[in-house]
A and B are shown apart, each in its own frame.
Chain A
Amino acid sequence: MPSRPLIRAGFLTLALAWLALLAIGPAHAADDAAARTLLAQLREADFSGKTALIEQLAALDHPRIATALKALADSRLYYQEAGNRVVIGSGDGADIAIEDAVSGAALGQISKRDLDRITTNNRLRTLIENRLASLGLASADPEQRKAAVEAFLKNPDPTESERLRARLSVETDSEIKELLAMSLALADLASPDAAVRVQGATTLGGQLRSELRGPLTKMAAEDNDSTAREAARIALARTQFRLQLLGWAETLFFGLSLGSVLILAAIGLAVTFGVMGVINMAHGELMMLGAYTTWLTQQYLPVNWSLPVAVPLAFLVAALVGIAIERSVIRFLYGRPLETLLATFGVSLILQQAVRSIFSPLNRSVASPDWMSGVIALGPLEVTLNRLIIIGFCIAVFALLWLALQRTRLGLEVRAVAQNRAMARAMGVRSARVDALTFGLGSGIAGVAGVALSQLTNVGPNLGQSYIVDSFMVVVFGGVGNLWGTMVAGLSLGIANKLLEPWSGAVLAKIVVLVFLILFIQKRPRGLFPQRGRAAEI
C-alpha cells in the first residue's frame, strides 16, 4: 500500500488527468471570461471570500479550473501585475516559469519578486482537495476511486453520502467497497436518527483507521441518546483492544529502529575501537562527513537517485579521511590507546571547524527521496518507510562488514593483527598497511552511517557530537571487539529506551538506560560478550 502523502499527491494528479479528459469532450465549456473574472477576484478576496470563489470555480465546467485550483492548493498561483492576469508558476529558485492560468499558454521566465502569490491556507487546501476528489469518484481507475474515498474518510461530508451510496451499489473492487461502507457508516454517525447512528457505530467497531476514532469518541461522550453513546463506547472498546496490541508492536518497531541507528553509529567504532583498540573521538565527525557527502551529491543528482550514489561516495570520503588520520596521527600512538583519545579529539575539533568554515555553520537541507517517504502497512501495523529502510540498511551494512572480516584476506589479516600484532608480523602480515586499511574501513562505515543519519536528523557541524557518547556505550555494552555484541547491544538499548519512554518521558528513559549500563558494567566488566584470552587486555 502506498504512503498517505503519495496517495494524496497521486490522487490529485489523477483527478486532474481525468478532468482534462472530460474537457476534450464537446461539453458546454464555460467561456474563459467567467473563469478569468473569478480567478482575478481571488487576489483581493479574504479567506472567506476565497472559499466562496473556489466553490464557484469548482462549479464551472472549464478544462483549466482543476489545474488552477491545484496550483492554488500548492501555492503556485500568482497574480502578475504587469500582464494583469493570473498565472501558474513552476520551478524553484528566484526566477520561475509561468503560464496563463486560463489558457495554459507559456509566458516565459520571470522573477518571483515581480509576482504576487495568491495566498491560501489549510482550510482552503482541504476544500480544494474535497472538490477535486468528488470528481474522481466515478473514475474508471480503481486507484483513483480509492483515493477519492480516502479523501471522504479524512474529511467526512454528509452531503456527499448519496453519491457514495450510489457508487457502492455499482462498485466491484472489494477493497474500495469496504472503504465505501466505512465512509457511509462514518456519515451515518452524523444522522439525526439515533438508530442509524447506533448502526453506524456498530459497523465501525474494531476498525483501526485513526480517522474513525475521532467521531466515535465524540459520540461516546456527547451523544444525547444513551443507546447511541453505549454503542459508540462498545465500538471504541473493540478498537481499543486491537490498538493496544498494535501499540506494543509499534513500540517494538520504534525500538528496533532506534537500535538500528545506534548500531549504524557504533559499528564503525566497533572496528576501530574494538578491533584496533584506538579510541577515535573523531568518529562522530566522520559520520558528519558522510552526511555532508550526501548533501553534496544531492546538489548534482536528482534526489531519488542521490542516495544509492551517496553511500559508496560517503564510504570513500570518510575512509580516505580516516586513512589520512591514521597515517598522520594514530600510527605513532599504537599501544597508547588513551593518547589516541587526546589526539583524535584534536582532530575532531579541526574537522568540525573545517566543515563550519567550508559549508557555513548553518544546517544543510538534505531531502528525502520519494521512495523513502510515507508509511507502509505491515499487516495492520503502519510503519514509516524511511525507518524500515534504515533497519534494512543497517542489516546490510552489518552483513557486509561481517563478510569482509570473515571471508576476505584483509579480514583475516585484520583479525590476526588484532589478536597478536607481533605474531602476525612474524607471519609476514604488513601490519602498518593492515592498520591503515582497518582504520579506513571503520571510518568508511562511519561515513555510510552518516548517509543514514542525514535522512533522520540535522546535517550540520554538530552532527557527530550528538552520537559519540551513545556509540561508545553501545560498543562497551556489547563487549569490545565483538561485532555481534555491538548488534545485540544496539538493539536492546534501543528497545529498552522505547519501552521506558511512554511512562517516564524521553529524558528519564535515557538516564535510566545509562544508569543501567553503568551498573551492568560493574557486574560484567567486559560487556555482554567478553573477548577471552590475551587479546582482551587493552
Chain B
Amino acid sequence: MTKTMPKFLPWLLGSALTLGVSLAHAADTIKVGVLHSLSGTMAISETTLKDTVLMLIDAQNKKGGLLGKKLEAVVVDPASNWPLFAEKARELLQKDKVAAVFGCWTSVSRKSVLPVFEELNGILFYPVQYEGEESSKNVFYTGAAPNQQAIPAVDYLMNDLEVKRWVLAGTDYVYPRTTNKILEAYLKAKGVKAEDIMINYTPFGHSDWQSIVAEIKKFGAAGKKTAVVSTINGDANVPFYKELGNQGVSAQDIPVVAFSVGEEELSGIDTKPLVGHLAAWNYFMSIKDKSNDAFIKDWHAFIKNDKRVTNDPMEAHYIGFNMWVKAVEKAKTTDPDKVIDAMIGIEAPNLTGGVAKMLPNHHLTKPVYIGEIQADGQFDVVWQTKGLVEGDAWSDYLPGSKDIIADWTDPKIKCGNYNTVTKTCSSQNYK
C-alpha cells in the first residue's frame, strides 16, 4: 500500500494546475461539462464515462480543437446525489458557461437535471439505455430506447430459443418498471398467457437472492422452456449471478438475458459459472471492426491499463461527442439553439462498422446485438438485427404513450410529446 498512497498527490497538483490553467485560458477555449458521479453508489459505472469524455476531448484537441479553439473539460462530481445533479448542472451552465454537457446515468439523475437544461437552454448528451417516454429539446439520447434493446432481445428468445415462459426480474425503479410494462404488453400481444409471465421486483443493491432464484427454478420446472429477462441494476447483479451459479441454474436450463450487464459489470464477476447467459446491447467490445480496434487501443493508451474493457455507454459517448463536434462545425458556433438545430440528421460512425444518425426525436439509429457471456468476461455475438433500428421515444405498447410522437423538425409539431389524436403538445414552455 505504501507504493500507492502517494497516488492522490499528483491529482492534488493536477487539480490545482488545471484550475490555474482554466483561469488563464478561459477566453479562448470551448468548455465541455462532464456531469458523472465520481463518488457514491454510481461512481462504479460513471467514472469510466468521465474518462471516456476526457479521452475524446484530448483526441479532438490533438486534431486541432474545434472552430480554432481548444476544448476544455469541466469535471464536477454530483456524488450520486440527485438534487446535487441539478445543482451541478446549473453550476456548469450558469457559472462555467459550458457549450455542452456529457453526463448522467440513472433515470432519476436525468429527470433531476432536465428542468435545469430546459430553463437555461443547455445541451445534454445522455449515454445510457433508458425507459424512453421522454424527448426534450435540450437532451440527446445516445443510448438505446426500449425498442432498441428489450424488444429485439425478447424476439430472439421467442424465435430462436423457443422460450415459452418468462420471468421479468428487475430492480424496483422506473427503467425496469417501464421496460417490463412494455414487454408484458408485447408478450401478451404475441399470445403469451398471463400465467406464463412472472414479474419480480427487488430493492437496489439486493444481495440475498436465495428465495428468488429458488422461485425461478420452480417456475422454470413447468415443462416449457423458460428464460429470465433481467433489468436488475448494476450492484445487485453480482450476488444474483453468483446465486444462479451456486444453485446450478445454467444458461442451458434457464438463460438470463440482461439489459444492464455489460463488459464493465462482468469485470467485477467471476464469469465462469455464467457462460452462455445473454445480454442485449448496441455494442460489444468483442465486435471486430477497425474503428472498434482503434478505439480500444486509444482507450488502453489513455487509461494506461490494457486490461480495461469498453462498453456500450462508452460507445454512446463516442457517437454523441463526434456528432456534437460535427454539429458545431456545421453551425460554426456553439450557440445552443443553432447547434440543436444542426444536430438533427447528423451522421457519425459507430464502433461496429455502421453509421448512427440523429433522428428528429433526438434518438439514434442503432444496430441491436445479442451476446453470450464468455469465460473471459467478453460477449460472443449470437444474433443481430438485419439493419439499424430507429429509437422510438414513446413506446407503442403503453396505453398512455401510444398516440404520442416526438419530432423537433416538423414545423407543425416541433415538440417532444405531440399527441396525434388531440393534435397538441403539452409542457414544453418553460419560460
Q: Which residues of A contact B (CB under 8 A)?
A: 3-5, 8, 47, 74-75, 92, 94, 113, 117, 119-123, 125-126, 129, 154, 210-211, 213-219, 221, 250-251, 254, 257-258, 261, 352-353, 356-358, 360-368, 373-375, 384-387, 455-462, 466, 497-498, 501-502, 505-507, 510
Residue B302 lies at the interface, judged by CB distance under 8 Å to chain A = no
Docked-complex contact B239 and A458, CB < 8 angstroms: yes
Bound-state CA distance A69–B135 (Å) is: 50
Q: Which of A5, A47, A113, A216 has the most CB of B within 10 A?
A: A5
* Contact, CB under 8 Å: A506 / B250: no
Chain B residues with CB under 8 A of A461: 43-44
How far is it, in angstroms, between the C-alpha of A384 and the C-alpha of B202 when the chains are bound? 21
B380 to A119, Cβ gap below 8 A?
Answer: yes
B238 A373 Cβ-Cβ under 8 A: no
Q: Please give the distance in Å from A6's CB to the nearest CB on chain B.
A: 10
Q: Is the CB of B223 within 8 A of A218?
A: yes
Contact B248 A365, beta carbon cutoff 8 Å: no
Tell me which of A47, A215, A375 contacts B223 (CB under 8 A): A215
User: Which of B8, B223, B238, B272 is the one whose CB lies under 8 Å from A216?
Assistant: B223
Question: Does B110 belong to the interface (CB within 8 Å)?
Answer: no
A-B contacts at CB below 8 angstroms, number:
175
Residues of A within 8 A of B40 (CB): 462
Jot down 21 A-B pairs with beta carbons below 8 A, ordered by A: A75-B380, A119-B382, A121-B276, A122-B161, A122-B252, A122-B276, A125-B252, A214-B221, A217-B222, A221-B223, A250-B214, A254-B210, A358-B4, A365-B271, A368-B246, A374-B248, A457-B242, A460-B44, A497-B208, A506-B208, A510-B203
Cα distance, A356 to B214, chains bound together (Å): 35
Q: Which 10 A-B pairs have the closest CB atoms?
A: A363-B268, A218-B223, A4-B248, A214-B223, A367-B270, A384-B246, A213-B221, A361-B43, A254-B210, A217-B223
Digit string of B221-257 for contact with A (CB within 8 Å is 1, else 0)?
1111000000000010011001101111011110100
Q: Which B residues touch A4, using CB under 8 A? A: 248, 250
Contact B202 A357 (CB under 8 A): no
Q: Does B388 contact A (CB under 8 A)?
A: no
- Return the chain B residue nearest A8 by Cβ: B250
Q: Which of B313-321, B326-334, B370-378, B393-401 contacts A (4 or more CB under 8 A)?
A: B370-378
Q: Which residue of A lies closest to B373 (CB)?
A: A75
* Chain A residue nearest in CB terms to B286: A117
Q: How large is the interface on B (under 10, 10 to 19, 20 to 34, 35 or more residues)?
A: 35 or more
> Could you tell me if B223 and A458 are in contact, using CB atoms closer than 8 angstroms?
no
Tell which of A47, A211, A462 has the most Cβ of chain B within 10 Å.
Answer: A462
Q: Determine if B261 is an interface residue (Cβ-Cβ < 8 Å).
A: no
Mask, B198-222, CB within 8 Å of A = 1, is: 0011110111101110110110111
B1 at the interface (CB under 8 A from A): yes
B270 contacts which chain A residues (CB < 8 A)? Answer: 365-368
Q: Is the CB of B246 within 8 A of A507?
A: no
Residues on the A chain within 8 Å of B207, using CB: 456-457, 466
Contact of B291 with A by CB under 8 A:
no
Distance of A224 Cα from B427 Cα, bound (Å): 58
- Contact call B217/A457, Cβ cutoff below 8 A: no
Is A457 within 8 A of B374, CB to CB?
no
- In whole angstroms, how far apart are the Cα atoms of A364 and B275 in the complex? 19
